[in-house]
Chains A and B, each alone.
Chain A
Amino acid sequence: MNKNTNATIKELQTGLAQGTFSSAEITSDYLTKINLLNPDINAFISITREKALEQAKAADQLIADGKASALTGIPLAHKDIFCTDGTTTTCGSRMLENFKAPYNANVIQNFENQHAVMLGKTNMDEFAMGSSNENSFYGPVKNPWALDSVPGGSSGGSAAAVAAGLAPAATGTDTGGSIRQPAAFCGITGLKPTYGRVSRYGMIAYASSLDQGGPMAHTAEDCAILLQTMAGFDKRDSTSMDKEIPDYSASLNNDLSGLKIGLPKEYFAEGLNSDVARNIDEAISQYQKLGAEIKDISLPNSKIAIPTYYVVAMAECSSNLSRFDGVRFGHRCDDPKDLEDLYKRSRGEGFGEEVKRRIMIGAYTLSAGYYDAFYLKAQKLRRLISQDFSQAFEEVDIIAGPTTPEVAWKTGEKSADPVSMYLQDIYTISVNLAGLPGMSVPAGFADGKPVGLQLIGNYFDESRLLNAAHQFQQHTDWHQMSPEEK
């Protein structure tokens, strides 16, 4: 059988269909590898071994009976922000250490409907707040390419799991870059869909107007396969869009000649690491060879994206996290002496530093007398940022640039200075504020660590992004590299 746990979903689908191996076998291989490597990488918060083997066995039966669908028997890892019926969903927090939701997130249910296999729940920054996965109650995640470095965040566990071959693909969520940045840092492919493309039901909210779930995999082709299952209208999420889902795999091989790619000058300005820049330049040259037309564009309001994002996201999180009060579920302090004590200590003990920081700043920006200056202003700036993109998309089909200004930094290097860490999200954050789809595609190495190329598309134009990424991957091999072979 195929012992290559770095296989793509596409390859696993073929193997399962041809009987080269069974779902039970590959599931078991991944579980073995998780047992072996997870203690070092810490990509998983929980490993649902028994459930996985059970699901794999059931999937093999379906395959044998000819009743398999696209993802039947494919092992996946899920970010521990997606509620899974009957197993713990911690969101990286002590607050939810023992929380078991009585329902599946829409995304999880979609995969279960296809009889995909769940290997476990991946580590993440607490409540998805962070860019390095150092903010998890369950310990930091290590970057498989350099164990002394961060994997990015907040979907760092998912990115590290895929990069290290602990799962062929994983789910992530992206509020300000939480899929794309760890995908870039770990040398995998990640897609943040258009806001409203994937249901947020059962996905624990950080910043509701920005959060979006998406796939993280080795290839764009795999992302297309996963998005096909994740996307769709869900009447339980009023912000999900009732819009036709195209066949994402069907357009992967479209010719790129004539594709107009815009390079925003603001994304190549000061602050961009020169080695990262070089890799991105090479990737752009590759696109030129594929027939794309490269245009210089401007997104003039890019510089205000970070403050705008942090006002909006923190305001929303301060309210979203109010439900964690120690009353009905989650962490409750011992022997509260009164109601106020119950709230203060349950929340004080249950939340980590970064979460508390964001709740406090968020509550401040919403408070009487500051609302107009912060929250309302941020909403106005948000519209300006969206307008920048709308104007750009009148000229170009996609926008390209680096996913991050630097490659993965060393664990602990930026944790003392939250603002310097916030600044690392500079290229990804605008995309969330505008609600656009964005991808990160492996595009080389700098300092021995992966570099990500970011592709940004127009609303609901995931097909074109996946097509552009897939064509790039047909002519490059960065996505095929494995830290084991390094």
Chain B
Amino acid sequence: MQWETVIGLEIHAQLATKSKIFSAASTAFGAEPNTQACAVDLGLPGVLPVLNKEVVNMAIKFGVAIDAEIGRESVFARKNYFYPDLPKGYQISQMDLPIVGKGRLTISPAEGVSKVVGITRAHLEEDAGKSLHDQFPGQTGVDLNRAGTPLLEIVSEPDMSSAKEAVAYARKIHSLVQFIEICDGNMAQGSLRCDANVSVRPVGQQELGTRAEIKNINSFRFLERAINYEIERQIDVIEDGGTVVQETRLYDSEKNETRSMRSKEEANDYRYFPDPDLLPVRVTDEDIETIRTSLPELPEQKRLRYINELKLTDYNAELLSSSREIADYFETALCRLSDQPSLLANWILGDLTGALNKSEMGFADSPINPEQLTGLLTRISDNTISGKIAKEVFEAMWNGEGSADDIIDSKGLKQITDTGAIEQLINDVIASNPEQVEQFRAGKEKVLGFFVGQIMKQSKGKANPGQVNQLLREKLKP
């Protein structure tokens, strides 16, 4: 039987505020346990939550960026359940009236393919603390530093039909939240977490299959693997005559498998009700307009501009608009080299990305800044150096040896374009290789490559290859 997959994602983005969503405690990562938890975060008796207005602005930013309806009146609700890392015995979240309603996001799961994924809603909530099971034998520690950290939970429609699409969507969200500066996107620190709802159904069936929710996915690679594992598992279950049960499953990245965590029957009744300690959040048209005008150009807008105005390839445009860092780098460089967007794109996505990846660095801390890179590329365009020499200069720049011009000067890498000097080189090579000359004149075209190679070697790569080719042919004419 042919199967098709239906995937929806719930992404928790940690909002990049300095203080928590309902208290003044810091949200900084990595502090000693329980040093960043105030009386409100600890849920002490009598204390009350006070909404950090910045989180509302950030949520609206996101809503505007995905072209969503913004809730003019959104309401915080209590999600009640007991767990040691949930100090109040309830999580303050949003239920019936979220701040962000239906929106959409365009993704590119493959080169030249684009797809619109619906976003059901995005709501604000507080994070819980952490239970530490491995530090105290026989006991569980509770660290409440993270309790009260603001989260935006972004719920997609079940619009994705493969792990690839799900990853493309997650990447796009990851890039978007960083673009609009509401989340630092640091997945290793848990700033962006992803749960996947996965179900399968026979191709052509209208109704959805029973879904499993997969939790504990903390990288795009694991997202793809977890979904693919789960698709296989569900198909196996059904093909073996079983039925998929609605449940929450945990992804184990070491074993690359998902395991049942709790079934629907074991699920909590969260007894949601509006939090009487907090007033409804009211947002006006003016608030939304103010935020809309303050938004930077969004990734999708950039992508389209790169394709339509800069005439970049779809692939390059997609990559260059994939993160704020890379787009900023590209556009800063483009200001100095506005007539060569493709050359710039190729170098940024080629050599620079390669070098950065190798050193595990980001564009923001690249040893070669946009000014230096354009300095180098300018010398390619004006024929001062060849593309090949440019790679050498690039490496020297990477190692901090100065600007492209300094390096070209000090290493004497300036391209030889003087016809007389090139002719001299050609004459020498022809004179010392009579055999090859004969071969060429006998019709063996391939030997031309040998001569070019020899000349370039003699010139230490500095001879202008075009000129070498042209002059060589003339000289070799019988």
Residues of chain A having any CB pair with chain B under 8 Å? 82-83, 89, 91, 96, 99, 101-103, 105, 200-205, 207-209, 235-239, 315-316, 318-319, 321-325, 327-329, 339, 343, 363, 366-368, 371, 375
Contact = CB atoms under 8 A, between A and B. Distances in A.
Given A208-B277, A371-B273, A375-B273, A319 B90 contact: yes
Contacts of B43: 323, 328
A319 B271 contact: yes
Contact of B44 (A315, A318, A329): A329
A89 B45 contact: yes
B80 A322 contact: yes
A322 B88 contact: yes
Contacts of A368: 269, 271
A101 B45 CA distance: 8
Contact of B88 (A89, A105, A323, A329): A323
B327 to A, nearest CB: 39
Contacts of B51: 238
A235 B271 contact: no
B45 A236 contact: no
Contacts of A315: 273
A201 B277 contact: no
A324 B49 CA distance: 17
Among B47, B49, B84, B277, max chain A CB count under 10 A is at: B47
Contacts of A202: 46-47
B45 A99 contact: yes
Interface in B1-60: 39, 42-51
Interface in B254-293: 269, 271-273, 276-279
Interface on chain B toward A: helix, strand, loop, or mixed SS? loop
Contacts of B273: 315-316, 319, 366, 371, 375
Nearest to A321: B89
Q: What 4 pairs between A and B have smallest CB-CB spacing?
A: A322-B89, A366-B271, A209-B276, A208-B276
B87 interface: yes
Nearest to B89: A322
B105 to A, nearest CB: 32
A14 B277 CA distance: 40
B22 to A, nearest CB: 9
27 contacts: A82-B46, A83-B46, A101-B39, A103-B46, A201-B46, A202-B46, A204-B45, A235-B50, A236-B50, A238-B50, A238-B279, A239-B276, A316-B276, A319-B273, A322-B88, A323-B88, A323-B89, A325-B84, A327-B84, A328-B44, A329-B45, A363-B271, A366-B80, A366-B271, A367-B269, A368-B271, A371-B273
Contacts of A103: 39, 44, 46-47
Contacts of A91: 45
Contacts of A339: 84, 140
Contacts of B50: 235-238
A83 B39 CA distance: 12
Residue among B49, B51, B89 with most chain A CB within 10 A: B89
Nearest to B76: A238
B78 interface: yes
A363 B273 CA distance: 11
Contacts of B450: none
Interface string B434-447: 00000000000000
Given A102-B39, A325-B82, A238 B49 contact: yes
Contacts of B46: 82-83, 89, 101, 103, 105, 200-205
A101 B271 contact: no
B64 interface: no
A353 B86 CA distance: 25
Give the residue among B142, B271, B272 with the most A Cβ atoms within 10 A.
Answer: B271
A366 B84 CA distance: 22
A241 to B, nearest CB: 11
A339 B138 CA distance: 12
Contacts of B47: 103, 201-202, 236
A238 B277 contact: yes
B145 to A, nearest CB: 14
Nearest to B277: A208
B42 A328 contact: yes
Contacts of A328: 42-44, 87, 142
Interface string B79-104: 01010100111100000000000000
A205 B47 CA distance: 9
A362 to B, nearest CB: 9
A323 B47 CA distance: 11
A316 B39 CA distance: 21
Contact of B48 (A237, A322, A323, A366): A237
B45 A239 contact: no
Contacts of B278: 238
Given A101-B46, A103-B46, A319-B80, 5 more contacts: A101-B45, A202-B47, A237-B48, A316-B276, A323-B43
Contacts of B269: 367-368
A148 B48 CA distance: 39
A123 B225 CA distance: 60
A125 B269 CA distance: 30
